[in-house]
Amino acid sequence: MIRLKVAQLLVNRPVGSSVDVRGWVRTRRESKQGFAFVELNDGSSFANLQVVIDKSVPGYDQFLKLLTTGSSVRVVGELKASPAKGQVVEVHAAEVHVYGSADADKYPLQKKGHSFEFLRDIAHLRPRTNTFGAIARVRNAVCAAIHEFYQSRGFLYVHTPIITTSDCEGAGQMFQVTTLDLALLAQQKRSLDFTQDFFGKQASLTVSGQLEAETFACGLGDVYTFGPTFRAENSNTTRHLSEFWMVEPEMAFYDLEDNMRLAQEFIQFVLKRAIERCPDDMKFFVDRIDKQVLETVENIINHEFERVSYTEAIEILKNSGQTFEYPVEWGLDLQSEHERYLTEVKFGKPVILYNYPRSFKPFYMRCNDDGTTVRAMDVLVPRAGEIIGGSQREERLDVLLARMAECHLDPEQYWWYVDLRRYGTVPHAGFGLGLERVLLLLTGMTNIRDVIPFPRTPKHAEF
């Protein structure tokens, strides 16, 4: 007999057929009439499968003791229409095999309703909860949609390196990669000599694949990279991880307008696919996590994003009558309280902020003719705040070199990046989207540590 997953079984509903299902017991109860009900979940869907086990099933008294919450089991039986409310079909067991029991006195998920903080400390077991199962399925649907979006538009998926020796743009603090024996060096009071290190120079984990992605865009057209990204900032917020996943498309012959349009289409496509593919999981998020979440997502899917220049945004914030913790002044970066005001209060939809002051933006962003701003764009959304940061890139060699000098960067260190402007330079643009920020938006979860399987944050990398 072929094993069926619960999701297949619930969709196909082959009533009357024999089935073989395997999974973990969520709950078990016994009826007075001498049979047991088991709620089985195998991760393939949000819904559990109800299994009815009559005491005439061989070995009933022995396996019943083992069939605790959390135990793993194989059931062979017949699929029947369910007379009870709550499910269309149920399985009537003919054979039950328990792979492993779970001690009811010790199993941490014996009871329901644990806090997310508690579950973070048992990250190896939280995939078995409703919430984390739903998040995992939505995360998967989002990743598939990301590839679908770019593949259907002829973008090439390129892999940019995780270990890098170029201090990428100063996007964030970097984690060092070294094989030097630091303890020994400290003990011997010797200074670090990177020529003796594995790569012969200082190396780090990437904070962005953008610079490398540009090399492919400037030869192959439209590309995207999608992978883990590492930032060592000591920022203990609910929106920052030390290791997160970023999607970075980079497009030759795109200007800032094209970039903004792609960003909007991309976000809308991914959100739409995720809610189409995971309706039961989304229903759970609405019922149990955040009543507004689906409405917010649908609102984003169905409306044009507001485009506001940085200069206009400063005016709006200054005239808002709000008191902010951080100052609002032309030339200062916006804080998340300002971003939230714009996207949640003022416009009630996503906002694309563009043309930021060059003073606090990286060297590679294209300079505007006004001499003070660059062609940067950030996409802000209700709840999650900034989910995209991007720009049109500076393709003019002389302007790029002047900007590097202004930022005290050595063009020698970026020789290959500068070369792209020497040989067949083209206007191009791109952006980075934080996967986990999208998941905050989609699930209504409020802490980014809960939308990645194994969160890494300052002082935390247990699993």
Binding residues vs ligand ATP (CB under 6 A):
171-172, 231, 240-241, 244, 246, 386-389, 432-434, 436-437
Smallest distance, Å, CB 333 to ligand ATP?
8
Nearer to Mn ion by C-beta: 360 or 415?
360
**Residue number, nearest CB to Mn ion:** 389
User: Which of the listed partners (Mn ion, ligand ATP, none) does 365 bind, with a CB threshold of 5 to 8 Å by partner kind?
Assistant: none
Name the one residue in this structure whose structure tokens are 């060096």. Answer: 185
Q: Contact at 8 Å (CB) between 397 and 367?
A: no
Report in angstroms how near the CB of residue 319 gets to ligand ATP at its nearest.
24
Q: Which does 73 bind (CB under 5 to 8 A by kind): ligand ATP, Mn ion, none?
A: none
What does the CA dihedral 421, 425, 427, 432 come to, rounded to 10 degrees?
A: -60
Task: Please tell me the distance from the alpha carbon of residue 50 to that of residue 48, in angstroms, as a whole number.
Answer: 6
Asked if 55 contacts 34 with a C-beta cutoff of 8 angstroms, the reply is yes
**What is the Cα 377 distance to its own chain's centre?**
20
- Cβ proximity to ligand ATP: between 126 and 449 the closer is 449
Site track 342-381 with Mn ion (rule: CB under 5 A), x = hit: ----------------------------------------
Q: How many helices (H) and strands (E) does the chain have?
A: 14, 16
**Strand partners for 177:** 203
The entry of Mn ion, ligand ATP, none near residue 313 (CB within 5 to 8 angstroms by kind) is none
Q: Which partner, ligand ATP, Mn ion, none, binds residue 380 by CB below 5 to 8 Å per kind?
A: none
- Report the partner that residue 436 touches, choosing among ligand ATP, Mn ion, none (CB closer than 5 to 8 A by kind): ligand ATP
In the complex, least distance from residue 231 CB atom to Mn ion, rounded to whole angstroms: 11
The answer to the question of residue 432 lying near Mn ion (CB under 5 A) is no
- Number of chain residues interacting with Mn ion (CB under 5 A): 1
Per CB under 5 A, 385 contacts Mn ion: no
What's 55's DSSP letter? T
Helix (H) or strand (E) holding 105: none
Q: Tell the smallest beta-carbon distance from residue 142 to ligand ATP (Å).
A: 13
- Which residue's CB is nearer to Mn ion, number 285 or number 305? 305
Residue 116, helix vs strand vs coil: helix
Instruction: State which residue, 214 or 436, has the beta carbon closest to ligand ATP.
Output: 436
Q: Pick the piece of the chain touching Mn ion (CB under 5 A) from 22-30, 80-88, 385-393, 394-402.
A: 385-393
Least spacing, CB of residue 389 vs Mn ion, in Å: 3
- Choose the one of ligand ATP, Mn ion, none that binds residue 244, judging by a C-beta under 5 to 8 angstroms depending on kind: ligand ATP
Compute the least distance from the CB of residue 263 to Mn ion, in Å: 12
Chain Cα centroid distance, residue 112: 26
C-alpha 34/C-alpha 346 separation (Å) is 61
Of 67 and 387, the one with the shorter C-beta distance to ligand ATP is 387
C-beta of 176 vs 457, nearer to ligand ATP = 457
Tokens in use for 50?
């109800």
Phi-psi region of 225 (alpha: psi -120 to 50; beta: other; left: phi over 0): beta
Q: Which of Mn ion, ligand ATP, none interacts with 445 (beta carbon under 5 to 8 A by kind)?
A: none
- 3-class SS of residue 24: strand
Both tokens assigned to 153:
């538009």
Cα distance between residue 90 and residue 95, in whole Å: 15
Beta strand 89-100 with 49-54: parallel, antiparallel or unpaired?
parallel
- Amino acid of residue 394: E
Cβ closer to ligand ATP: 106 or 459? 459
Q: What is the dihedral sign for C-alpha 242, 245, 250, 256?
A: negative
137 binds, among ligand ATP, Mn ion, none (CB under 5 to 8 A by kind): none
Give the count of beta carbons closer than 10 Å to the beta carbon of residue 197.
16
| CB 434 to ligand ATP: min, Å | 2
Nearer to Mn ion, 77 or 389 (CB): 389
Q: Tell whether residue 389 is a contact of Mn ion (CB under 5 A).
A: yes
Q: Are strands 373-381 and 385-392 parallel, antiparallel or unpaired?
A: antiparallel
Nearest to 300 by CA among 360, 261, 336, 349: 349
Select 193 or 329, whichever has its Cβ closest to ligand ATP: 329
434 binds, among Mn ion, ligand ATP, none (CB under 5 to 8 A by kind): ligand ATP
Task: Pull the structure tokens for residue 253.
Answer: 């012959």
Least CB distance from residue 2 to ligand ATP, whole Å? 41
Give me the residues that bind Mn ion (CB under 5 A), please: 389
